[in-house]
């Protein structure tokens, strides 16, 4: 597309290697990323805030000698702040909000040599599994523009899938890395709770359910970025087990014979879409062919109790967020300031008590104990990411007045991923299946708490056995 014709032939580490060798400059890579953004973004609406001048300034000031020196990168327009730039949280209530400091993770991205050049679309406050905010409009799935790219990191996933860049920042509080990775045919790892920092403004997101990382084309990019960003910052509330060695060294390392439990059914016992069921059954056979022991087994779940706990914790955080924004604006926010579902969640939280919140946090910790016992007998748990292939845009409309249908659709489409936000376990979506209509369907592997390395080794093995990188959307 631009002067560097080999841009999309390389992953992020590959681009950094070319910069290090002097084959291409950081400016040339940035120019390529900007040209692709301007050409492709009008079709998909993935990049909603452009920071081209700031990116050029980063380069002119001199980039650190990090593992991704010179590689273009996008932040999600949600919790990561970059001093002097706008972050809207996908909401008109924050339109024009300029950060006066960096988040810790932003600093680590910059230290890794990444060239930040914009921010990607997110649903309002990251509250749903699609990316269709009223503020910016919907992001379109590059594999089929009528369909959702997932959420809440849908803008990030669409940008990577469309080859604007090889990896981008994403976050996951209820599946928001894994869901868009599944919908867009990418690799998406949600790390163990506390593996990447949430500071300095927060100790945790949503009672520890939320964490930031990325979506990527390759496993090794995700592993290397985790190496660059992992580790406690002063005051962090969680200390996950230290890795035995860099995560990048796990790529290509022997997996050993893993005991993998698999399940296709939703937590209420119903079957998912046939394409989704097929993706899991085919993946189970693939894992068996790679020498792993595969058994059908699943934890016993209470979907109603899980939903109530999530609603209590997330709703309370939404209510606090709106209250704090109102204080910053010098007025109380009204229903007109935010989307309908956001407003309902915040107001529902006001009917719950502090005891309800304490009970919800106790519940998710009990879920962690339950899954810890289940995982004593299994190294990996395999199940769907989504209950359906990527839905069409409009199915999860946060402006809808038909809340019952919205909640029913939510339960049908995304009943799986949130469990592992509750438990804090590392969990990943791996792009191993496409429907007959050409839509991606990821499969979800979850490991024991702290054993991100096991997932990375398995992901690399699957990437070699059934490569996905050469699949291209948008014709």
Q: Is the residue at 26 inside a domain? A: yes
Rounded to 5°, the CA angle 398-401-407 comes to: 60
Q: So what's the pLDDT on residue 475?
A: 53
Q: Is the residue at 352 inside a domain? A: no
Q: Is the residue at 21 inside a domain? A: yes
Q: So what's the pLDDT on residue 238?
A: 87
Where the chain has pLDDT below 50, the residues are none
Catalytic: which of 153, 176, 182, 210?
Answer: 176
Task: Residue 449: give the domain boundaries.
Answer: 7-303+358-465
Q: So what's the pLDDT on residue 1?
A: 66
Structural domain count of the chain: 1
Q: Is the residue at 323 inside a domain? A: no
Q: So what's the pLDDT on residue 19?
A: 98
Q: So what's the pLDDT on residue 198?
A: 96
Q: Is 152 a catalytic residue?
A: yes
> What does the buried/exposed string (b/e) look like for 18-41 if buried means 16 or more CB atoms within 10 Å of the residue's CB?
bbeeeebebebbbbbbbbbbeebb
Q: Is 216 a catalytic residue?
A: no
Q: Is the residue at 234 inside a domain? A: yes
> Which CATH number characterizes residue 242's domain?
3.90.1300.10
Question: Edge-to-edge strand order for the sheet containing 167-172?
Answer: 167-172, 211-216, 187-190, 427-434, 440-447, 380-384, 259-262, 293-296
Q: How far is CA 88 from CA 123, 273, 338, 393, in A?
A: 10, 35, 12, 22
pLDDT in tens, 157-214: 999 999 999 999 999 999 999 999 999 999 999 999 999 999 999 999 999 999 999 9
Q: So what's the pLDDT on residue 457?
A: 98
Q: Is the residue at 347 inside a domain? A: no
Q: So what's the pLDDT on residue 5?
A: 79
pLDDT in tens, 429-452: 999 999 999 999 999 999 999 999
Catalytic: which of 91, 122, 148, 152?
Answer: 152
Q: Is 278 a catalytic residue?
A: no
Q: Is the residue at 334 inside a domain? A: no
Q: Report the C-alpha gap between 61 and 437 in whole angstroms.
A: 47
Q: In the beta sheet, which residues pair with residue 437?
A: none
Q: So what's the pLDDT on residue 4?
A: 81
Q: Is the residue at 239 inside a domain? A: yes
Q: Report the C-alpha gap between 117 and 227 in whole angstroms.
A: 22
Catalytic: which of 76, 119, 190, 217?
Answer: 76
The helix or strand, by DSSP H or E, that contains position 294, with its residue range, turns out to be strand 293-296
């Amino acid at each position: 597309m631009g002067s560097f014709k080999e841009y999309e032939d390389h992953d992020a580490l590959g681009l950094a290697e070319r910069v290090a060798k002097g084959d291409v400059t950081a400016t040339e890579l940035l120019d390529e990323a900007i040209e692709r953004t301007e050409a492709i973004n009008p079709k998909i609406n993935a990049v909603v805030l452009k920071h081209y001048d700031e990116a050029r300034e980063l380069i002119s000031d001199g980039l650190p000698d990090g593992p991704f020196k010179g590689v273009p990168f996008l932040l999600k327009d949600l919790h990561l702040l970059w001093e002097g730039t706008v972050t809207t949280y996908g909401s008109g209530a924050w339109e024009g909000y300029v950060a006066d400091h960096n988040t810790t993770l932003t600093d680590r991205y910059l230290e890794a040599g990444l060239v930040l050049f914009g921010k990607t679309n997110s649903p309002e406050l990251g509250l749903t599994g699609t990316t269709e905010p009223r503020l910016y409009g919907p992001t379109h799935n590059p594999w089929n523009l009528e369909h959702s790219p997932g959420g809440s990191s849908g803008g990030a996933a669409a940008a990577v899938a469309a080859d604007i860049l090889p990896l981008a920042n994403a976050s996951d509080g209820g599946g928001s890395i894994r869901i868009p990775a599944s919908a867009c045919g990418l690799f998406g790892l949600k790390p163990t709770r506390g593996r990447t920092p949430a500071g300095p403004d927060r100790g945790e997101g949503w009672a520890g359910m939320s964490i930031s990382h990325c979506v990527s084309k390759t496993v090794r990019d995700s592993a290397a970025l985790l190496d660059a960003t992992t580790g406690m910052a002063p005051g962090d509330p969680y200390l996950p087990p230290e890795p035995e060695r860099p995560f990048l060294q796990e790529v290509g390392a022997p997996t050993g014979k893993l005991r993998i439990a698999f399940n296709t059914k939703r937590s209420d016992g119903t079957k998912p879409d046939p394409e989704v069921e097929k993706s899991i059954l085919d993946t189970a056979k693939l894992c068996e062919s790679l020498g792993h022991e595969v058994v059908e087994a699943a934890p016993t779940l209470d979907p109603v109790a899980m939903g109530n706990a999530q609603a209590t914790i997330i709703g309370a955080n939404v209510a606090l967020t709106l209250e704090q924004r109102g204080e910053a604006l010098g007025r109380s926010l009204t229903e007109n300031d935010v989307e309908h579902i956001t407003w309902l969640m915040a107001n529902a939280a006001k009917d719950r008590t502090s005891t309800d919140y304490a009970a919800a946090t106790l519940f998710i910790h009990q879920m962690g104990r339950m899954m810890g016992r289940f995982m004593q007998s299994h190294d990996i748990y395999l199940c769907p990411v989504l209950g359906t292939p990527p839905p069409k845009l409009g199915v999860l409309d946060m402006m809808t007045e038909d809340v019952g249908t919205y909640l029913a659709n939510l339960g049908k489409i995304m009943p799986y991923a949130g469990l592992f936000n509750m438990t804090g376990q590392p969990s990943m979506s791996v792009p191993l299946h496409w429907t007959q209509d050409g839509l991606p369907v990821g499969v979800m592997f979850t490991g024991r708490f702290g054993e991100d390395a096991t997932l990375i080794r398995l992901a690399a093995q699957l990437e070699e056995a059934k490569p996905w990188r050469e699949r291209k959307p948008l014709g």
